[in-house]
Amino acid sequence: MTISVGQNAPHTYLYIMGDAGPETVATRSMFKDKKVALFGLPGAFTPTCSAKHLPGFINNAEALAAKGIDTIVCISVNDPFVMAAWAKDQGAGDAVMVAGDGDAEFTKACGLEVDLTGKGFGLRCKRFSMVVNNGVVETLNLEVDGGYEVTSAEHMLNNL
């Protein structure tokens, strides 16, 4: 079942690349006392994700912060090495925390997984965006049929 507005975000772990290698980030601490713009996508280095989704949040980071967003986090069912390489390629810098959900632990706990087995992708994350305010899902946007509209940074910005 898909997570819904008003529910607590699941307490799982995501993985980012630190100076000494992969680091574990507990979602509980990531969301505590913060308003987080969180978005998920099918994969690093994929066309829409690289051309629109991540760049939109990078380009709108300051505007989102001005509307009360403390942190922007991008997740995908990829390992932290791939996510770090993609963040560097995209110029994410400090604007967006790019985290791997390699085991799809967070994705599955939210009911946001999509099985693309047979297409060469395996288990992936549906394209979504949400605002998590002190651990509680405040808004949730899901794309239908692989589109890209309601999960964009621009849509989030216009609806904060």
Going by the DSSP 8-state scheme, the letter that residue 36 receives in this structure is E
Q: What is the per-residue pLDDT for 142?
A: 96
Instruction: Say yes or no to pLDDT of 80 above 90.
Output: yes
Structure tokens at 35: 């308003």
Q: Domains of the chain: which residue ranges?
A: 13-158
Q: What is the Cα–Cα distance from 47 to 34, expressed in whole angstroms?
A: 31
74 is catalytic: no
The residue annotated as part of the active site, out of 49, 74, 110, 125, is 49
Q: pLDDT digit string (tens) for 36-77?
A: 999 999 999 999 999 999 999 999 999 999 999 999 999 999
Q: What is the per-residue pLDDT for 30?
A: 97
Q: What is the dihedral of CA 41, 5, 29, 160, to 10 degrees?
A: 80
CATH topology for the 13-158 domain:
Glutaredoxin (3.40.30)
Rounded to two decimals, what is the model's pTM? 0.96
The angle formed by the CA atoms of residues 54, 103 and 128, to the nearest 5 degrees, is 35
Q: pLDDT digit string (tens) for 4-31?
A: 999 999 999 999 999 999 999 999 999 9
Q: What is the Cα–Cα distance from 17 to 11, expressed in whole angstroms?
A: 20
SS3 (DSSP) at 142: strand
Q: What is the per-residue pLDDT for 7?
A: 98
Q: What is the per-residue pLDDT for 119?
A: 87
